[in-house]
Amino acid sequence: AMPAAAPLRALLPLFLLSAAAAASVDDGNVEDDAAASSTGCLGAACEARLQGVLAKLDSVAKEIRGRRATLTALEELRASILSGRRIELPSARRQHLEKGSSLIGRVSYDVRHRPISTNASRYFQGARAVGKESEVSLHTLLLLKPPSSFGQVGTMAAVVTVSPSPAPRPDGPSLLLSVFDAESGAPLLEGFDPGHNPGRVIRHLVVSTAQDPPLVLTGDDSGRMRVHSLKVEARPVDKAEEGTNVTRSSSQMFAMANLTCAFKLPRSPIGEVRELNTVLIVEKGTQTHFVAGDTRGGISVY
């Protein structure tokens, strides 16, 4: 009996609303009906009354349609939350609902941004896993120039990650920086401390695209930003051949990080603390600038 009763319960508010609207129309016209029954309904008067009743009915119908659309949207949101999928919403409705709850942005998307295709297996194919043992909180791609001894022409792709420290200490870093070769997945730099104060959370990771060596900027929740330059070098490594006692020497790539500069968001004129909202690296020729936006709407250029 439950499946059959569920639609009736869903329609009950609509029935109640219709009954209330009809009652309001009847109550508003009781005196008019009494007057019409005693004096008779003339043509012009009856036409005016009829138009008034129709206008009220149209208004009630519009309200019912609006309530029905609201109930339908809420039901779709409930179903999407339970199923883990995202639904599309009109731009105005989505913006209105986001004012009441930030959860709307996670379970819906703007109808203007509807995906052309949802066939992920056709366009995305897994290549390799990088940093399997890491719990990555931030990541980005970076182009590095390999050492000349490797004979590789051009640039190599690398993955820069920020991960929690495997053994955090109260006086030590909570997040560490790592660099992996995107082609082989081998670590080039692993567990590097970017130098933020203990207990601070790194929320921003930005890399340069034109500098040689490239720059990596990390920003924490206190508004402090630190910039490191990355350089790839080749080092000799002795490896023993499997099943033999023969040791052969080969070259292996490593990345080195050097602190370039550090800066922090200034306080507002009235002493309010500014939190880092976004940061960009702007490169023009040989000049590099860092543009930071804060939660107070301020823009700082370094």
pLDDT in tens, 183-208: 888 888 988 999 998 888 899 999 98
- Evaluate whether 178 touches 193 at the Cβ level (below 8 Å): no
- Residues 284 and 91: their CA atoms lie apart, in Å, by 37
With H, G, I as helix, E, B as strand and everything else as coil, classify residue 285. Answer: coil
- What is the structure's pLDDT at 6? 45
- Residues 71 and 78: their CA atoms lie apart, in Å, by 10
HSE (side-chain half, CA atoms, 13 Å) at 92? 0
Enumerate long-range contacts of 130-136, CB under 8 Å, 24 or more apart.
130/159, 130/161, 130/180, 130/182, 130/185, 131/159, 131/161, 131/163, 131/178, 131/180, 131/185, 131/187, 134/161, 134/163, 134/178, 135/163, 135/164, 136/161, 136/162, 136/163
pLDDT in tens, 151-176: 666 678 888 999 888 877 777 778 89
Order of all β-strands in the sheet with 276-284: 276-284, 287-294, 299-301
- Evaluate whether 300 touches 266 at the Cβ level (below 8 Å): yes
| Reported confidence tier of residue 11, pLDDT bands at 50, 70, 90 | very low
Q: What are phi and psi of 117, to 5 degrees?
A: -140, 140
> Per the structure block, which two tokens stand in for 9?
């319960």
pLDDT in tens, 72-126: 878 888 888 788 788 888 888 888 888 887 778 778 888 888 777 767 777 777 7
| Reported confidence tier of residue 25, pLDDT bands at 50, 70, 90 | very low
Per-residue pLDDT, averaged over 46-73, amounts to 87
User: Which residue would you say has higher pLDDT here, 276 or 31?
Assistant: 276
Residue 8 pLDDT greater than 50, yes or no: no
- Evaluate whether 173 touches 198 at the Cβ level (below 8 Å): yes
- Evaluate whether 284 touches 293 at the Cβ level (below 8 Å): no
Count of all residues that appear for the chain in the document: 302
- Evaluate whether 246 touches 240 at the Cβ level (below 8 Å): yes
- Evaluate whether 273 touches 292 at the Cβ level (below 8 Å): no
Burial label, 262 (beta-carbon count in 10 A; 0-12, 13-18, 19+): middle
Per-residue pLDDT, averaged over 32-43, amounts to 52
What percent of the chain stands above pLDDT 90?
21
- Residues 300 and 26: their CA atoms lie apart, in Å, by 65
- What is the structure's pLDDT at 219? 94
- What is the structure's pLDDT at 241? 62
